[in-house]
């Protein structure tokens, strides 16, 4: 089936929601798309969570190789959807076909990379402290440790990545890799794309004969269905990518449960870019080109969009700004994801532009098309920036604020005053390294990823990636939502003391533990 | 100085608190001890946190070898306090000298084990994804990842381990090992012990010429000074061991901050012990001896005290109970840590004993001495246990409730209904392995540590230990408070993309990264 039907997929069954009916909107025309999707309610949340809990024991007990095969099968089935998926996603999001094709490759690559991680077995972080029966004054027991999955996970699809951060995106891949059943709440902005991908996942569940409750897809509003899902006692962790208000509401609901659970919410980031003097002197115009390309990419609808530029004022910064202003003014407007996002962008730019301490340097071209993003380049001074937190708020879209500083000390002071960020970027020439060395420790405390002489948009899916950062960039800075370490979000450690060999899980059994690290005896005393 | 003076130690300075004056009480006599200790207030919290924040940059930048030396110096200085420390701790807690001597060895061993971990460097969990300049369609950047410390940490001393879970206990050792300055709130039950140990830490700070704010000790009440400390914006994580109400109050305060922070609270656990039929048939009396020894150890004042026994009713269980009843009745009462704890224990046992569904099987001998613990062995049936959550509440002290079950299915049903636990213990003979194999997956979801044919008291400090578990055993099941993995509580990941070689931190520099794991290229695409 390569056309959406409007139905949720709950533990393998098609369910048409009896709540509010919604339709996707083609943001490039404002036209509503067929079919209608019915929102689910309490019954559907209960059904999905009951099935997920029932599936958990068998799903987590699967051999690593089978779980890996399942992830690969999901990837295969997403690819089998072919152009129908890309076309539907294009109509629902306004994102270009080339971008969506790349995003699909990232999504399937991500699933296959997690399959490799699962197959390698090291995800269980096995450790063995062997018994020491003759230790004095007390013998030591045999103690082994592995990680096990937390339980059913709720994943909230994001508006801006209809594939890579949505139904079978990073959180779903990481949770399924960890051994956790997943219940996805689809984003209302791309329900058809969500249904198609959910059919691919459900198909893979069936292909491998897994328990149907391993995966469900629900439609519904965040405040109603979403909070109900987060507070369902079967759900044991939550992955969310979206607004700060949405993330905070989910975190508060999770914390207020009789049993609080971890929430991994990626919320807001302005991704500061520091332009150091040597770099500006060497290549101001070139940096400006790269900056505007990154700023305007995908109408600026990236979590890592460069929304802040910080530099010492002077002739080289003015050269940078001249080029940037020209590039922004030339920027062709592009369609935003939804009418609401386009409105919020326009309101955010208007609010900043009206600020007494803000100067509008450039706007992108106007457009008669609906829901477009006119890029915006604004400027302020560091004193004003420091004195009004409103200037630090993210405006989601292709808007960036240049903060002019008196000197290097003020650049560092601005860095020290920033809220938590997903990324911090430094443009530095050889001559700037002393200054960069002073800035680096400040940025480490502020951001999850630090880049030199590049642009923060484009998040590599690898083993070393950190897509996360201190609050409010995320609700939990100790993890990443992109890359293989994301599997650890959905795991917890268990120790096994003197468990008979025949009962030990494979990951920590004698001689059969690919990931086990037998650590030399530290001969510690047990008091 | 081997006698306490009553002063706090804030960033190396002696400060006598101007708030409420408190004195330690010798629980074995009820007598107040010299000197008086003055509680600190808002000014002292501010002073300690300002100094901790100021110390953070230099402290975290120390070479691993120097931080390791610091931890070892703390251990040396604690040992140099000699008998004076043990004597003071004995008078303040009523704990036997032999136990405190063992606890001191555990505490110094723990510090030295963390020194080994720091020196080995693998704590930074370095990962390198090398650049692929020729990758199609897009080149890959050089991306490296390490872990860095969160920032200043608040540690709350526990009443029941005046050394191992207190001023220089597990949380402090892990936080200092991670590179985080520490501000300790001492437990009012052993202020003199706390001051002495704090002087050892402060001496080590001075010996190594570290920033004085690396360590501070405060006295004060939990609701006032404690919450002020948790909500200070400089504090970035909290370690707590104590009551459920205390832990929940701290977690709520941390979550309500403008910037929420992680709280690692170890709160409450009844540590179920499952006696399977084959084990009971083989060695009921022997198991009973081990059980009562574990139950009564240290007046039952362990987080891992076996407070629940679950078994199928029948002749072998009756044999077990006969032996256990005799051993409990013979048990000599021992002094509890504080008058308040002794009262709470007596109240808790009285409450359970008065419950309509509870039978009192045995009480320990009475005593004319103040603040003693009369061991208690109670029993109920599985249906009553399942229908009243009050029967699941921890009674801190040597009290255990036997839950009689009809059959193996009911044993498993009881296991499935349990709240989160630090430990779960199974006594199983060879003939029980099929039943144990069914129980094990249930217990994995309930507890942080699973033991076979042993007793949960006695927590080994090693690489594989997990002292933690699902809520309400702790507020965060993803970590441990004992063992080397505790260092991860106070770390978060940072990725470095294309950072020039001369600016890269040592842990992820080319060729000089003992802990780095260069992972083969997965050739993933970046969309």
For B414-442, what is each residue's pLDDT tens digit? 999 999 999 999 999 999 999 999 999 99
Sequence-distant (6+) residues with CB within 8 A of B369 are B28, B333, B335
Confidence of residue A137 (pLDDT cuts 50, 70, 90): confident
Judge contact between A503 and B94, C-beta under 8 A: no
For A8-267+480-489, which CATH class?
alpha beta
Please give the Cα distance from A74 to A84 (Å, whole number): 16
The answer to whether domain A8-267+480-489 and domain A272-452 are alike in fold is no
Please give the Cα distance from B451 to A62 (Å, whole number): 24
Please give the Cα distance from A76 to A109 (Å, whole number): 10
**What residues form DSSP beta bridges with A215?**
A182
Is B525's pLDDT higher than 80? no
Please give the Cα distance from B483 to B463 (Å, whole number): 6
**Contact check, Cβ <8 Å, A454/B527:** no
Q: pLDDT (tens digit, 9 = 90+) per residue, A387-409?
A: 999 999 999 999 999 999 999 99
pLDDT at B264: 98
CA distance B67 to chain A (A): 18
pLDDT at A526: 33
Catalytic residue among B49, B103, B195, B303: B303
pLDDT at A518: 44
Is the domain covering B11-29+40-267+480-489 a CATH 3.40.605.10 domain? yes
Kindly give the pairing relationship between strand A308-312 and strand A272-275. parallel
Alpha carbon separation from B17 to A4, A31, B135 (Å, rounded): 69, 69, 64
Does A34 contact chain B (CB < 8 Å)?
Answer: no
Is A266 among the catalytic positions?
Answer: yes
Alpha carbon separation from A500 to A126, A487, A496, B410 (Å, rounded): 17, 28, 10, 24
Q: How many Å is the Cα radius of gyration of chain B?
A: 25
Question: Of how many residues is chain B composed?
Answer: 527
Task: For A403-441, give the secondary structure using H, E and C.
Answer: EEECCHHHHHHHHHHCCCEEEEEEECCHHHHHHHHHHHH
pLDDT at A523: 35
Q: pLDDT (tens digit, 9 = 90+) per residue, A72-130?
A: 999 999 999 999 999 999 999 999 999 999 999 999 999 999 999 999 999 999 999 99
pLDDT at A99: 96
Task: For B385-436, give the secondary structure using H, E and C.
Answer: HHHCHHHHCCCCCCEEEEEEECCHHHHHHHHHHCCCEEEEEEECCHHHHHHH
Catalytic residue among B69, B266, B394, B435: B266
**Contact check, Cβ <8 Å, B450/A150:** no
Is B516's pLDDT higher than 70? no
> Which residues in chain B touch residue A150, judged by CB atoms under 8 angstroms apart?
477
DSSP helix, strand, coil percent of chain A (3-state; round to 5):
45, 20, 35
Judge contact between B95 and B89, C-beta under 8 A: yes
When pLDDT is averaged across residues A316-322 and rounded to a whole number, the result is: 98
Q: pLDDT (tens digit, 9 = 90+) per residue, A64-80?
A: 999 999 999 999 999 99
Question: What element of type H or E holds A239?
Answer: strand A237-241
> Which residues in chain A touch residue B429, judged by CB atoms under 8 angstroms apart?
none
Alpha carbon separation from B288 to B96, B294, B319 (Å, rounded): 24, 10, 9
Please give the Cα distance from B478 to B489 (Å, whole number): 9
Q: Give the tokens for residue A426.
A: 């430094």
Q: pLDDT (tens digit, 9 = 90+) per residue, B295-307?
A: 999 999 999 999 9
Nearest to A493 among B105, B466, B496 (CB): B466
Does B151 contact chain A (CB < 8 Å)?
Answer: yes
When pLDDT is averaged across residues A227-250 and rounded to a whole number, the result is: 97
Please give the Cα distance from A171 to A111 (Å, whole number): 10
pLDDT at B1: 61
Judge contact between A30 and A371, C-beta under 8 A: yes
When pLDDT is averaged across residues A413-441 and rounded to a whole number, the result is: 98
> Which residues in chain A touch residue B128, judged by CB atoms under 8 angstroms apart?
464
Does B95 contact chain A (CB < 8 Å)?
Answer: no
Between A222 and B346, the higher pLDDT residue: B346
**Strand positions, DSSP E, A262-305:** 263-266, 272-275
Give which of B179, B57, B168 is closest to A442, Cα–Cα. Answer: B57
Is B405 among the catalytic positions?
Answer: no
HSE-CB for A420 with a 13 A CA cutoff: 25
**Contact check, Cβ <8 Å, B129/A465:** yes
Nearest to A503 among B262, B436, B478 (CB): B436
> Which residues in chain B touch residue A89, judged by CB atoms under 8 angstroms apart?
none
Judge contact between B489 and B264, C-beta under 8 A: yes
pLDDT at B451: 98
Catalytic residue among A49, A303, A399, A513: A303
Instruction: Mutation target for B interface from A252, A497, A519, A520: give the one with most B CBs within 10 A.
Output: A497
Q: pLDDT (tens digit, 9 = 90+) per residue, B382-395?
A: 999 999 999 999 99
Instruction: Mutation target for A interface from B433, B478, B499, B505: give the one with most A CBs within 10 A.
Output: B478
Please give the Cα distance from B422 to A310 (Å, whole number): 49
Please give the Cα distance from A161 to A171 (Å, whole number): 12
Report cis status (omega within 30 of 0) of the bond before A216. no
Q: What is the mean pLDDT of chain A?
A: 95
When pLDDT is averaged across residues A36-49 and rounded to a whole number, the result is: 98
Alpha carbon separation from A153 to A89, A372, B365, B375, B443 (Å, rounded): 25, 35, 50, 42, 20
**Contact check, Cβ <8 Å, B462/A498:** no
Report cis status (omega within 30 of 0) of the bond before A137. yes
Which residues, numbered 207 to 266 in chain B, qualify as contacts with chain A under a Cβ-Cβ cut-off of 8 Å? Answer: 251-252, 255, 259-260, 262
When pLDDT is averaged across residues B130-157 and rounded to a whole number, the result is: 96
Q: What percent of chain A has pLDDT over 70?
A: 97
Question: What element of type H or E holds A101?
Answer: helix A97-120
Judge contact between B477 and B468, C-beta under 8 A: yes
| ipTM of model | 0.96
pLDDT at B303: 96
**Contact check, Cβ <8 Å, A129/B260:** no
CB pairs under 8 A between A and B: 253
For A314: left if phi > 0, alpha if psi spans -120 to 50, otherwise beta; the answer is: left
Is B527's pLDDT higher than 60? no
Domain boundaries, chain B: 11-29+40-267+480-489, 272-452
Q: pLDDT (tens digit, 9 = 90+) per residue, B147-184?
A: 999 999 999 999 999 999 999 999 999 999 999 999 99
Exposed/middle/buried for residue A136 (C-beta within 10 Å: 0-12, 13-18, 19+): exposed
Question: What element of type H or E holds A284?
Answer: helix A277-296
Is the domain covering A272-452 a CATH 3.10.180.10 domain? no
Confidence of residue A522 (pLDDT cuts 50, 70, 90): very low
Which residues, numbered 330 to 369 in chain A, qualify as contacts with chain B under a Cβ-Cβ cut-off of 8 Å? Answer: none
> Which residues in chain A touch residue B145, judged by CB atoms under 8 angstroms apart?
463-466, 485
pLDDT at B523: 35
Please give the Cα distance from B179 to B488 (Å, whole number): 11
Which residues, numbered 425 to 484 in chain B, qualify as contacts with chain A under a Cβ-Cβ cut-off of 8 Å? Answer: 428, 433, 436-437, 440-441, 444-445, 447-454, 458-466, 468, 470-472, 475-480
Q: What is the mean pLDDT of chain B?
A: 95
CA distance B471 to chain A (A): 6
Nearest to A106 among B428, B450, B525 (CB): B525
CA angle A338, A457, A241 (to 5 degrees): 50
**What residues form DSSP beta bridges with B424?**
B450
Instruction: Mutation target for A interface from B106, B126, B497, B513: give the one with most A CBs within 10 A.
Output: B497
Q: pLDDT (tens digit, 9 = 90+) per residue, B176-232?
A: 999 999 999 999 999 999 999 999 999 999 999 999 999 999 999 989 999 999 999
**Contact check, Cβ <8 Å, B466/A128:** no
Nearest residue of B to residue A475, measured between CA atoms: B260
Does B298 contact chain A (CB < 8 Å)?
Answer: no
């Amino acid at each position: 089936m390569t056309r959406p039907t409007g139905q949720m997929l709950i533990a393998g069954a098609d369910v048409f929601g009896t709540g509010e009916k919604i339709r996707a909107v083609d943001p490039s025309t404002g036209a509503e798309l067929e079919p209608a999707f019915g929102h689910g309610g309490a019954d559907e949340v209960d059904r999905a969570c009951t099935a997920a809990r029932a599936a958990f024991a068998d799903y987590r007990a699967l051999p690593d190789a089978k779980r890996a095969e399942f992830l690969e099968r999901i990837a295969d089935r997403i690819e089998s959807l072919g152009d129908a998926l890309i076309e539907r996603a294009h109509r629902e999001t306004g994102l270009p076909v080339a971008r969506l094709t790349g995003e699909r490759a990232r999504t399937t690559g991500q699933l296959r990379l997690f399959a490799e991680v699962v197959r390698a077995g090291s995800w269980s972080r096995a450790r063995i402290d062997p018994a020491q029966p003759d230790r004095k004054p007390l013998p030591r027991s045999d103690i082994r440790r592995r990680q096990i999955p937390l339980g059913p996970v709720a994943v909230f699809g994001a508006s801006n990545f209809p594939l890579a951060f949505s139904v079978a995106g990073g959180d779903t891949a990481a949770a399924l890799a960890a051994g956790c059943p997943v219940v996805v709440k689809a984003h209302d902005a791309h329900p058809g794309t969500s249904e198609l991908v959910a059919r691919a996942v459900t198909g893979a569940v069936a292909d491998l004969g897994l328990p149907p409750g391993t995966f469900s897809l629900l439609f519904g509003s965040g405040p109603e269905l979403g909070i109900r899902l987060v507070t369902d006692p079967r759900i044991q962790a939550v992955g969310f990518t979206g607004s700060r208000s949405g993330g905070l509401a989910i975190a508060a609901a999770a914390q207020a449960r009789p049993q609080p659970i971890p929430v991994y919410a990626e919320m807001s980031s302005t991704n500061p870019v520091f332009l150091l003097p040597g770099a500006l002197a060497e290549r101001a115009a070139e940096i400006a080109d790269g900056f505007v390309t990154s700023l305007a990419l995908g109408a600026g609808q990236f979590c890592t969009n460069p929304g802040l530029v910080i530099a010492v004022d002077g002739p080289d910064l003015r050269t940078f700004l001249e080029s940037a202003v020209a590039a922004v003014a030339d920027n062709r407007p592009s369609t935003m994801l939804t009418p609401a996002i386009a409105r919020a962008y326009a309101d955010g730019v208007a609010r900043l532009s009206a600020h007494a301490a803000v100067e509008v340097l450039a706007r992108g071209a106007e457009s008669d098309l609906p829901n477009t993003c006119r890029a915006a380049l604004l400027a302020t001074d560091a004193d004003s920036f420091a004195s009004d937190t409103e200037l630090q708020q993210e405006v989601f879209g292709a808007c960036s604020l240049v903060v002019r500083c008196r000197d290097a000390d003020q650049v560092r002071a601005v860095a020290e005053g920033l809220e938590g960020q997903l990324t911090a970027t430094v443009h530095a020439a050889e001559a700037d390294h002393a200054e960069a060395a002073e800035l680096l420790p400040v940025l480490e405390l502020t951001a999850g990823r630090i880049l030199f002489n590049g642009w923060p948009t484009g998040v590599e899916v690898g083993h070393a990636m950190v897509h996360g950062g201190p609050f409010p960039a995320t609700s939990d800075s100790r993890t990443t939502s992109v890359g293989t370490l994301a599997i650890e979000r959905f795991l917890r450690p268990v120790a096994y003391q003197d468990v008979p060999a025949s009962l030990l899980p494979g990951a920590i059994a004698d001689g059969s533990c690919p990931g086990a690290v037998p650590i030399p005896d530290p001969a510690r005393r047990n008091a």
